Structure 1
Amino acid sequence: MPQLRHIKISLASLPPVFSIPFPDSDKHFVLENLETLLMVQDLGMTKHVLEKMPNVKKMGIHYNTILWHVYDVHLQKLETLKIVFDSPTNSTFLRSITSAPRLKKITLERGRIGWEDMTIFGSLPNLEALKLHEFAFIGPVWVPIDGEFPKLKFLHIWETDLEHWRADKTHFPSLEHLILWKCSKLVEIPPCIGEIDTLEIIEIDYSSFSVMKSAKDILNDQQNQGNEGLQFIFRPTKARITPLKFGLWQDDSGVIHRPKRKLDMLRSPVQALQDSLLSESSAQAFRDSLSSESSAQAFRDSLSSECLAAQGYQGYWLSKQGASRAIQLVSSKMMMTLKRLVERLRRRGRD
């Protein structure tokens, strides 16, 4: 236990032993080697909790409470922090849990803090990456303050109701990568953002026409000034994905998806192999040759045994060690059958 370095919990709280005070002489439960603690629920950053993991560098916390306590004890070596809120929080609580002196990367989801409290993060001297997801901050206007974000290199804002972002190049002097997704109400990207000397990439989606237009204006302006290094990336709007049980997920429209399984590859082997294994010209000739009913019936009869084999291999597929072998066997049989049929039809055409 003392040698434990990484802990990942699926939305569960730490055992009560973490919050029990121990005498100074009793150090048997101090996890001095622990570096990663992810997705722990409702972590209270009290002295008794943090003294048991003094060297944590990466932490993820999920808060689903509505009772916010202010903490004045901080992890001195914490560098990466992710916080997910199920309900709106307040700026005092947020400041108390994000004041670790060495923080470099912060991800915040669903905090619903006003943009005027962005100084909570702007005052962190070593912050390099900031990700604000799903209304982490809310409000129509964000006016950055001079002197903040001195080392920020990466800024990602995903889903917000922000309308006016009144920033210039002095507010983010070290910014290299800017991402704006689902900012549908944003009027424009501040024109002066393109003048940041260190800026290399701006990524936006198609959620706001005015943002796309301002991005193209910034790009044209920078190219006219001889700045060929600035790159713009336009991406389709990314839907919010809500994880469900059994590997399923649900998108914004309510449609439930499941991951594609290897077994799906066996559901239409004839069409898949016909399109992938034959050249375009041969494939077209093959399809033309099957236009008559007799040729099509001959083709179906020739493939009947292989199709039955494919169905049999589906059961074999479910075995623990038969997955890759099933695909190899079925694919090789189908390929050989198709090649023989194509060659037979070619000879018949020449005769």
Structure 2
Amino acid sequence: MTVRDAMETMSSRARSFICHGEIEVPELLDFRFLRTLSTYKYFGGYLDENVVNLRYLSGEFREGFQISSSISLLWNLHILIVFGCGVSTAPVEIWKMHQLKHAKFVRGVMYLPDPPSGHSDVMMENLETLKGVLDFNLNEEVVKRIPNIKKLSITYKDRVKCLSYLQCLSKLESLRCIIQYGSDDEYLQSISFPHSLKKLYLYCEDSFPHLEEILEKIGSLPLLEKLELRYGQFATRSWEIVEGQFPSLKYLSLWHCVDMEFWTLEGFCLPRLEQLHLGWVESLEEFPSEIGEIPTLKSIELWFCSESMAVSLKKIVEEQEELQGDPSFHVLVRSSNVSQELQSLATPNFRVDKW
């Protein structure tokens, strides 16, 4: 019996179909009781009432394939994971999928149209995760349709002004935002974040202008535990963290903030920081000495930063060794050009690697 024969024989009784090989799901099978369909191959022919009991749907779309409006017939669907390429467009009927909790678009991006106007009952009230969406038109109407969203991953080539509505997503805990092209500074400065945020990843291809102003907003978030920021410009060439900022932050990563020359900490700030990663922060020459006084700090990594910054950090480590005998945190310095002086700083608590 072939695999296809077996599938045709058992399809009417199957509750799950999970295939991680090269087998393509044959169409026109009787999958009326199927709850889980997961395949690495094309599944476009199954977005109809024949699989109305599906709870979990994961698979690949062929290039150029668009999700059919019939997807709204999968009214029991809780999880939708689509592997595609390029840009696809979801039908407006996706807003009728009241049970959908997690929607992820992987490798490609999905354009999600605005919900139908005049139909306030058309919403995804159970949606908690939305990832891989392009130019998501966040506005007052859209915010009402996703009241329970917790995880959001969005990419913008346009419509950056929509980011001012982020603060209205009162249950949002994780945000990943990529801005691919330069936008008006006014719109970038209008970004506001909900106080519910715990994880934040920001990437701007053309660099965030006035980064210190954006970081001042982020620093006031009471629950934020993880912050990753890629590319930014400090107009004042300095970053000052004042008392009370970043009260819950545990992980901080800044990469390609090339014009930050000064960094100061004042008062009681960053009280829970555990991991600090800096990459290509080449203009910063000295670490704030207060870093060594953070009791929760476990590790610091420097990637392709200035040698003088590594030297200043080594002094902080030595001060902690004198006070405590063994510093509470460890350091990793990585550079493409490791000088003899830099290599001489290496100890068990202060690694120096050539990359």
User: What TM-score comes out, normalization by structure 1 length?
Assistant: 0.60
Evaluate the alpha carbon distance shift between residue 137 and residue 106 of structure 1 in structure 2; reply closer, same or farther with a 3 A threshold. farther
More strand by share: 2
Q: Which residues in structure 2 correspond to 1:1-351 (within 5 Å)? A: 1-9=97-105, 10-16=108-114, 18=115, 20-24=116-120, 27=121, 29-65=122-158, 68-69=161-162, 71-72=164-165, 74-89=168-183, 93-94=187-188, 97-110=191-204, 111-117=207-213, 118-135=215-232, 140-161=237-258, 162-168=260-266, 170-226=268-324, 228-237=326-335
Report how far residue 66 of structure 1 moved.
6.9
Q: Which residue of 2 aligns with 1:333?
A: none
Query: 2:241 corresponds to which letter in structure 1?
Result: P
User: What TM-score comes out, normalization by structure 2 length?
Assistant: 0.59
Provide the rounded CA distance (Å) in 2 between the counterparts of 1:194 and 1:3: 49
Q: Which residue of 2 aligns with 1:277?
A: none
**Paired residues, number:** 233
Query: 2:209 corresponds to which letter in structure 1?
Result: I
Do the aligned partners of 1:200 and 1:229 also contact (CA within 8 Å) in 2?
no
Provide the rounded CA distance (Å) in 1 between the counterparts of 2:168 and 2:157: 21
Provide the rounded CA distance (Å) in 2 between the counterparts of 1:226 and 1:62: 46
Report how far residue 81 of structure 1 moved.
0.4
Provide the rounded CA distance (Å) in 2 between the counterparts of 1:231 and 1:104: 23
Do the aligned partners of 2:238 and 2:262 also contact (CA within 8 Å) in 1?
yes
Larger Rg: 1
Report how far residue 96 of structure 1 moved.
5.1
Query: 1:149 corresponds to which letter in structure 2?
Result: F
Identity %: 33
Do the aligned partners of 1:202 and 1:233 also contact (CA within 8 Å) in 2?
yes
Q: SS state of the match for residue 49, structure 1?
A: helix
Provide the rounded CA distance (Å) in 1 between the counterparts of 2:242 and 2:185: 17
Provide the rounded CA distance (Å) in 2 between the counterparts of 1:36 and 1:104: 14
Do the aligned partners of 1:201 and 1:231 also contact (CA within 8 Å) in 2?
yes
Provide the rounded CA distance (Å) in 2 between the counterparts of 1:69 and 1:38: 17
Report how far residue 67 of structure 1 moved.
6.0
Provide the rounded CA distance (Å) in 2 between the counterparts of 1:168 and 1:198: 17
Runs of at least 5 residues in structure 1 that lack an aligned partner in the other structure: 239-351
Evaluate the alpha carbon distance shift between residue 96 and residue 4 of structure 1 in structure 2; reply closer, same or farther with a 3 A threshold. farther
Provide the rounded CA distance (Å) in 2 between the counterparts of 1:76 and 1:83: 17
Evaluate the alpha carbon distance shift between residue 173 and residue 67 of structure 1 in structure 2; reply closer, same or farther with a 3 A threshold. closer
Evaluate the alpha carbon distance shift between residue 128 and residue 112 of structure 1 in structure 2; reply closer, same or farther with a 3 A threshold. same
Provide the rounded CA distance (Å) in 2 between the counterparts of 1:192 and 1:58: 33
Do the aligned partners of 1:203 and 1:235 also contact (CA within 8 Å) in 2?
yes
More helix by share: 1
Report how far residue 97 of structure 1 moved.
4.6
Provide the rounded CA distance (Å) in 2 between the counterparts of 1:214 and 1:49: 49
Query: 1:44 corresponds to which letter in structure 2?
Result: N
Do the aligned partners of 2:240 and 2:266 also contact (CA within 8 Å) in 1?
no
Report how far residue 62 of structure 1 moved.
1.0
Provide the rounded CA distance (Å) in 2 between the counterparts of 1:217 and 1:151: 27
User: Residue deviations 1:119-151, cap 9 Å, x none?
Assistant: 110111211111111337665211123222111
Provide the rounded CA distance (Å) in 2 between the counterparts of 1:22 and 1:70: 24
Provide the rounded CA distance (Å) in 2 between the counterparts of 1:147 and 1:91: 27
